[in-house]
Amino acid sequence: MGSIAKVGDIRLKELVFATNNAYKAAEVSKLLAGKYKILTLKDIGCGVDIPETGSTFEDNAALKSLYVVTHYHLDCFGDDSGLEVEALNNAPGIYSARYSGNRSDQGNMSLLLNNMEGIEHRSARFRTVISLNLNNKNFFFEGMVSGTIRKEAIGEQGFGYDPVFEPLGHDRTFAQMSTNEKNEISHRAIAMKKLIAFLKDHAGF
Ligand code: IMP
């Protein structure tokens, strides 16, 4: 007797997201839910911390996607994101993850707040650049969200600088928002929506 295909049996297309950050993978999986199955570096057995030796977000995002294509021959996208603070000449920028010398969110935020002590101009923005490597061609997508740096950290959600970043038009920080709420407005969500629109047009999405 033949089997009846159920909705649950539909195989989703797989796309590697060159990241080890579980929060980011969860954010992106939600945005692509039911459309693509996102595999992380861990899922494909890649234990390498891909070197981010570029001098721009674009360079670093492309290094990540190219690494997976070269070593695993799988379609892949990689992102690079960071916080740019106007009064600090756009620091920490590409150095956001290790601003304080190690990968401590707490240490990075403390250093940022120290460096901004006495500064009233607190405009900043998060930027994300995604590099998609599809059929050996590279495409870039960018997302940005503007806001201000709070004088004190507040909120428990998210990661990185979320507790000190208040997006424009809101009176709460990213860390006081649910993942869904952040996904409506975040730099990564904006870049991801551009990626999704592109996949719809070019990959029979
Ligand atoms: P990545 O290179 O995309 O992993 O991002 C570099 C660093 O930028 C992270 O380690 C965080 O410190 C910061 N960052 C990027 N996106 C966000 C965000 O959505 N919220 C808070 N911090 C972020």
From 36-40, 102-106, 187-191, 195-199, the region with the lowest mean pLDDT: 195-199
**pLDDT at position 1 over 60:** no
What is the spatial distance between Cα 6 and Cα 23, in angstroms, rounded to a whole number? 30
Q: How confident is the model at residue 10 (pLDDT cuts 50, 70, 90)?
A: low
More confident residue, 35 or 84: 84
Q: Output the CA torsion 162→165→171→172 (10° steps).
A: 10
How confident is the model over 146-153, as a mean pLDDT? Answer: 98
Burial of 146 (0-12, 13-18, 19+ CB in 10 A): middle
What gap in Å lies between CA 52 and CA 63, rounded to an integer? Answer: 7
Omega before 51 within 30 of 0, i.e. cis: no
Task: Answer yes or no: is the C-beta of 79 below 6 A from any ligand 1 atom.
Answer: yes
Integer angstrom CA distances of residue 178 from 29, 148, 159, 168: 15, 19, 12, 17
Return d(Cα 8, Cα 60) in angstroms, integer: 37
- Say whether pLDDT at 158 is over 80: yes
Instruction: Please tell me the pTM assigned to this model.
Output: 0.88
Nearest CA to ligand 1 atom 11: 160
Task: Say if ligand 1 is within 6 A of residue 27 CB.
Answer: no
21 lines ligand 1 (CB under 6 A): yes
- Is the CB of 28 inside a 6 Å radius of any atom of ligand 1? no
Q: Tell how far the Cα of 203 is from the centroid of ligand 1, in angstroms.
A: 28
> CA-based angle 156:35:48, to the nearest 5?
60
Helix (H, G, I), strand (E, B) or coil at 124: strand
Annotated catalytic residues are 80
- Among protein residues, the one whose CA lies closest to atom 23 of ligand 1: 160
| Residue 195, amino acid | L
10 Cβ contact list (under 8 Å, min separation 6): none
pLDDT at residue 129, as a whole number = 98
Mutation pick for ligand 1 pocket among 67, 129, 156, 161 (CB with most ligand atoms within 8 Å)? 161
**DSSP summary character for residue 87:** G
Tell me the two tokens of residue 66: 């190219």
Cβ(167) – ligand 1 distance below 6 Å = no
Domains identified in the chain, total number:
1
Specify whether the CB–CB gap between 179 and 30 falls below 8 A.
yes
Q: Which residue's CA is the closest to the ligand 1 atom numbered 5?
A: 81
pLDDT beyond 60 at 204: no
- The CATH number linked to 87 is 3.90.950.10
Q: Is 160 in the pocket of ligand 1 (CB under 6 A)?
A: yes
What is the torsional sign of CA 16, 20, 24, 26? positive
Domain residue limits at 184: 4-202
Q: Ligand 1 pocket check: which of 81, 165, 183 to mutate, most ligand atoms within 8 Å of Cβ?
A: 81
The residues near 18 (Cβ < 8 Å, ≥ 6 apart) are 41, 50, 64, 65, 67, 68, 76, 77, 78, 79
Check whether 9 has a pLDDT greater than 70. no
Q: What is the mean pLDDT of the chain?
A: 90
